[in-house]
């Protein structure tokens, strides 16, 4: 439980971290995040002697191809999130992670042809109404929230199809490895044009950019430790700590204004999540009573623990 709460808590206060990187563009931040994360991952692979597992993953086309696709969606998710934070739209970013479980359930139906229970359909319908209300309030689609929700849901979908034969560390190392050559080339081009900000306000901007590796890998390993020890339904409930903290950071710390009409949309989203969570808990209890093994759980059952 402590591992899980620590992971989701760190992700929840990310806005307070990334706002200090605003000197750099979202693209530059993501490029540094990829490269520094790779260095941290390779160091851990060496320390934990996971080199053989990494080589096996890199040699398998069935692993590398989907992880490359997953990595592209993950990088897009990172970029949109950093843009949201550095442009003062943390509240909308938190909305994206509230909506994410609903989008994941929807993808299970559309892509995997999974059958939803009535309560899950109710949650999706309430979520659709919430998005409509928020669209009318914003005067446009809340594209940041929807982009974050869909990009992370698709990332989770692809990872779900890869399976669990590789650890979280091996998967992330593979994902950053396939992104690293492009990230390095683009970053060199940015620095060559004098558009980079690594040397701004020395040494703090450079240290902050370098710390993105620890900030990325650290909570992921904490989450992986929790996921191996805590029931799926519990992990699913803990995940809501992240968007709640992000919302609090945006409103209470960063001073973003949320008009009363927008709270209506958020309330509908929370209602949908309450319906989805209660249904997941009831389903988990039924599985425990049946004492049946849960192998190859459908995507709708892991909707709450994709991170």
Answer whether 130's CB lies under 8 Å from 180's CB. Answer: no
Mean pLDDT for 269-273 is 95
Sequence-ordered alpha helix ranges (H) in 111-231: 118-138, 143-162, 168-192, 204-210, 212-227
pTM of the model: 0.88
Whose tokens are 């992880």? That residue is: 67
Residue 28 has pLDDT above 90, yes or no: yes
Rounded to an integer, the average pLDDT of 50-71 is 90
49 domain-assigned: yes
Helix (H, G, I), strand (E, B) or coil at 141: coil
Model confidence at 301, in pLDDT bands (50, 70, 90)?
very low
Amino acid 229: pLDDT: 84
Computed over every residue of the chain, the mean pLDDT equals 88
- In a domain? residue 205: yes
pLDDT of 19 higher than 60: yes
Structure-block tokens of residue 25: 């563009």
Q: How confident is the model over 91-112, as a mean pLDDT?
A: 91
pLDDT at 108: 85
Measured CA to CA, the distance from residue 155 to residue 161 in angstroms comes to: 10
The percent of the chain in helix, strand and coil, each rounded to the nearest 5, is 80, 0, 20
Nearest to 10 by CA among 266, 211, 206: 211
- Give the per-residue pLDDT at 113: 84
Domain boundaries, position 164:
2-301
* 232-260: pLDDT as tens digits: 667 778 889 999 999 999 999 999 999 99
Contact 212, 33 (CB under 8 A): yes
pLDDT of residue 286: 80
**Per mean pLDDT, which range of 25-39, 59-73, 180-194 is the poorest?**
59-73
Let me know if residue 307 belongs to a domain. no
Q: Rounded CA gap, 194 and 102, in Å? A: 43
Rounded mean pLDDT, 116-131: 92
Share of the chain above pLDDT 90, in %: 64
Number of separate domains in the chain: 1
How many angstroms separate the Cα of 153 from the Cα of each of 18, 61, 150, 266? Answer: 22, 23, 5, 19
Cβ neighbours of residue 175 closer than 8 Å, sequence gap 6 or more: 67, 68, 70, 71, 74
pLDDT value of residue 134: 94
State yes or no: cis peptide before 203, omega within 30 of 0.
yes
208, 249 contact by CB (below 8 A): no
pLDDT, residue 166, reads 63
**pLDDT, average across residues 164-172:** 75
pLDDT at 304: 43
Closest to 214 measured CA to CA, from 27, 36, 55, 84: 36
Domain membership flag for residue 306: no
- Could you tell me the pLDDT band of residue 165, with boundaries at 50, 70 and 90? low
What is the predicted pLDDT for the residue at 63?
86
Say what the pLDDT of residue 18 is: 96
| Least confident span in 199-203, 284-288, 301-305 | 301-305
**The predicted structure's pLDDT at residue 307:** 40
Which of the listed ranges 96-100, 111-115, 288-292 does the model predict with the highest average pLDDT? Answer: 96-100
Encoding tokens for residue 182? 């492009």
161 has a pLDDT exceeding 80: no
Contacts of 26 (CB under 8 A, 6+ apart): 79, 80, 82, 83, 86
pLDDT at 305 over 50: no
Q: Which residue has the higher pLDDT, 160 or 45?
A: 45
């Amino acid at each position: 439980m402590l591992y899980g709460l620590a992971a989701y808590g760190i992700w929840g206060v990310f806005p307070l971290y990334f706002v200090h990187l605003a000197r750099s563009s979202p693209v530059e931040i993501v490029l540094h995040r990829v490269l520094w994360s790779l260095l941290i991952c390779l160091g851990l692979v060496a320390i934990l002697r996971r080199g053989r597992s990494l080589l096996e993953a890199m040699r398998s086309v069935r692993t590398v191809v989907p992880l490359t696709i997953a990595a592209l969606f993950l990088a897009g998710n990172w970029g949109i999130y950093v843009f949201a934070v550095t442009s003062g739209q943390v509240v909308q970013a938190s909305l994206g992670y509230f909506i994410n479980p609903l989008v994941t359930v929807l993808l299970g139906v559309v892509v995997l042809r999974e059958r939803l229970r009535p309560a899950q359909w109710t949650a999706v319908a309430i979520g659709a109404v919430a998005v409509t209300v928020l669209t009318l309030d914003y005067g446009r689609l809340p594209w940041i929230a929807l982009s974050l929700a869909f990009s992370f849901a698709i990332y989770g979908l692809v990872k779900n199809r890869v399976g669990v034969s590789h650890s979280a560390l091996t998967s992330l190392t593979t994902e950053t490895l396939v992104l690293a050559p492009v990230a390095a080339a683009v970053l060199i081009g940015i620095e060559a044009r004098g558009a980079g900000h690594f040397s701004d306000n020395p040494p703090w901007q450079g240290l902050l950019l370098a710390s993105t590796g620890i900030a990325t890998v650290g909570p992921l390993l904490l989450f992986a430790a929790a996921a191996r020890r805590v029931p799926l339904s519990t992990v699913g409930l803990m995940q809501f700590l992240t968007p709640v903290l992000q919302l609090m950071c945006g409103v209470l710390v960063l001073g973003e204004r949320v008009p009363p009409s927008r709270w209506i949309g958020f309330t509908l989203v929370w209602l949908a999540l309450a319906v989805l969570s209660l249904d997941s808990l009831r389903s988990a209890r039924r599985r425990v009573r049946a004492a049946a093994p849960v192998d190859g759980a459908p995507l709708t059952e892991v909707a709450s623990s994709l991170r």
